Amino acid sequence: MCHDGSKALLDDDIICRMKVGFPEERGAVLPALRILIVGSANSVHVVTRARALAHVGGDVAIISTEQPRQDIDDLRVLAPTLRRGLWRRIRSFRSLDRLIRNTPADVIFVHYASGYGAWLAQTDSRGLAVSIMGDDVLPHGMKRRSRISRWLTGRLLRQADLVTAKSSYLGAIATGMGVDSDRIMNVFWGVDLANFRNVPDTLRADLSIDASQPVVFSPRMMRPKYHIDLLVDAIPSILAVVPNTCFVISEHNADPLYRDQLRRRLRQLGVEQSARLVGEIEPGRMPEYYALADVTVSLHDRDGFPQSVLESMAAGTPCVVGRIPELDGIIEHEKHVLFTDFDSDAVGTAVHQILSGHPLVDRLVSAGRVFVSDRANLRTEARRVYRRLGEIAKRRDPRWRLPITGVILLEPIISRISRKK
């Protein structure tokens, strides 16, 4: 048995980490609430939100089907291993189901509405909240999944007492999947503004960037869907007008083939010396990179709401953002950010517009900071969510348990058969 009373799967397959205390804002102004988060312990978003809810006053635990790679000793993490092999995996799912049911909590909060942990959570009788993240409900993500997977995700959302979404666009998708509008809550989550104050200024020396060099920063994952290749292809045109520009590119969660492609392209263009591929950046150091940059580039063509944009605005760094429908009506072109088409020439033009000292730069910086302070302050947003979780924790609606559990356990078999056809 784990220190908190959790049962099942408590052997070598479980990592159990206990809380070691919270910052001073934990002083419980709001009623204490036990929150069980089901989501990846390797997701910066999941861990950040868990910590924010704990700081408000919650007793938070995370059940993750991925072994955590990051140090999160301030939260309790239960991480069962999903074993390889069809029948072993099915036995693991049954153990995961028991772990979810036996972990004490007033409310279950699923982050990402797809996957076995998320689907199993809908069979529980406790209050249920689901945070939709983007790929879990956007059409392109749903198309990649089996019919049964799509059905399980849809049913999870319809069973939830609360669905949180980072944009009205995602909220509309949830409504289209049958979720009542009064159960949908738009939440940016946002950033902890305290992390963007008094940021150390040591990166220029660490990265061998001269004080006179403007810096363009790419913070997104190094994967094809984030279109870092468009920024790389734009480098020659930017250097033609601002010759000493330095391009700092994160290699977070890099696709090795894509990384090799980008390195080859930098060599082909003859701009290797102007780029710094900086590997994985520790989450706690991200504010330093935003503070270093003169412009941030975020080019994901499908997104719930890009966290990188909020972080860049919090740091007072103008941001060039790929134009996507998810952002319509939330942030405005030439007020909060510069939108660009997914084309290297357009990206280069937008970056140059900022580096040239265009009068709109001050407007972007000012409006961006106001937006984050008013609408995307993590501490404020966490308190909003915490209150709603307290409301749904009082609900104890029975859920259609056994048939759904059977469908979930059969999903890997059905998906394997579908792939073979």
Same domain, 200 and 295: yes
The answer to the question of residue 15 being in a domain is no
Q: What pLDDT, on a 0 to 100 scale, did the predictor assign at position 138?
A: 83
Same domain, 106 and 206: no
Q: What pLDDT, on a 0 to 100 scale, did the predictor assign at position 398?
A: 52
The answer to the question of residue 13 being in a domain is no
DSSP structural state of residue 72: -
DSSP string, 161-204: SEEEESSHHHHHHHHHTT--GGGEEE----B-GGGGSS----HH
- Euclidean distance between the first and final Cα of the chain, in Å? 44
The answer to the question of residue 232 being in a domain is yes
DSSP structural state of residue 133: -
Same domain, 224 and 264: yes
Q: Are 2 and 16 in contact (CB under 8 A)?
A: yes
pLDDT at 388 over 60: yes
**Confidence label for 315 from pLDDT (cuts 50, 70 and 90):** very high
Domain that holds residue 70: 24-190+378-420
- Residue positions counted in the chain: 421
Same domain, 353 and 393: no
Tell me the two tokens of residue 72: 């999160």
| Residue-wise pLDDT tens digits, 89-141 | 677 777 888 899 899 999 999 999 998 899 989 888 899 999 998 888 887 76
Say which residue, 91 or 17, is predicted with more confidence.
Answer: 91
What angle, 0 to 180 degrees and rounded to 10, lies between the N-to-C axes of helices 228-241 and 344-355?
50
CATH code for position 150: 3.40.50.2000
* C-alpha closest to that of 32 among 62, 50, 59, 5: 59
CA atoms of 176 and 139, how far apart (whole Å): 11
Q: Which residues contact 331 (CB under 8 A, 6 or more apart)?
A: 309, 321, 337, 371
DSSP string, 314-361: HTT--EEEE--GGGTTTS-BTTTBEEE-SSHHHHHHHHHHHHTT-THH
pLDDT at 10 over 80: no
**Confidence label for 16 from pLDDT (cuts 50, 70 and 90):** very low
Rounded mean pLDDT, 137-152: 79
Q: Identify the residue whose tokens are 């993490």.
A: 77
Same domain, 100 and 170: yes
- Structurally, the chain folds into a number of domains equal to 2
**Confidence label for 301 from pLDDT (cuts 50, 70 and 90):** confident
Q: Which residues contact 33 (CB under 8 A, 6 or more apart)?
A: 57, 58, 59, 106, 107, 386, 389, 390, 393
| Residue-wise pLDDT tens digits, 394-408 | 765 555 554 666 666
CA atoms of 394 and 383, how far apart (whole Å): 18
Same domain, 156 and 225: no
| Residue-wise pLDDT tens digits, 26-43 | 444 577 899 999 999 988
Same domain, 218 and 347: yes
The answer to the question of residue 18 being in a domain is no
CA atoms of 72 and 176, how far apart (whole Å): 36
Q: What pLDDT, on a 0 to 100 scale, did the predictor assign at position 403?
A: 60
The answer to the question of residue 344 being in a domain is yes
Same domain, 338 and 244: yes
Same domain, 146 and 253: no
Same domain, 121 and 58: yes
Tell me the two tokens of residue 143: 């198309």
**Confidence label for 3 from pLDDT (cuts 50, 70 and 90):** very low
**Confidence label for 416 from pLDDT (cuts 50, 70 and 90):** low
The percent of residues above 90 in pLDDT, for the chain, comes to 61
pLDDT at 418 over 70: no
Q: What pLDDT, on a 0 to 100 scale, did the predictor assign at position 83?
A: 65
The answer to the question of residue 28 being in a domain is yes
| Residue-wise pLDDT tens digits, 349-381 | 999 999 998 889 999 999 999 999 999 999 999
Q: Are 332 and 368 in contact (CB under 8 A)?
A: no
User: What's the mean per-residue pLDDT of the chain?
Assistant: 86
The answer to the question of residue 16 being in a domain is no
The percent of residues above 70 in pLDDT, for the chain, comes to 84
Q: Identify the residue whose tokens are 């307290």.
A: 390
| Residue-wise pLDDT tens digits, 161-180 | 999 998 888 999 999 999 99
Say which residue, 200 or 245, is predicted with more confidence.
Answer: 245
Tell me the two tokens of residue 406: 């059977």
Indicate the helix (H) or strand (E) that contains 136. none
The answer to the question of residue 398 being in a domain is yes
Same domain, 382 and 239: no
Same domain, 146 and 254: no
Q: Are 95 and 89 in contact (CB under 8 A)?
A: no
DSSP structural state of residue 128: E
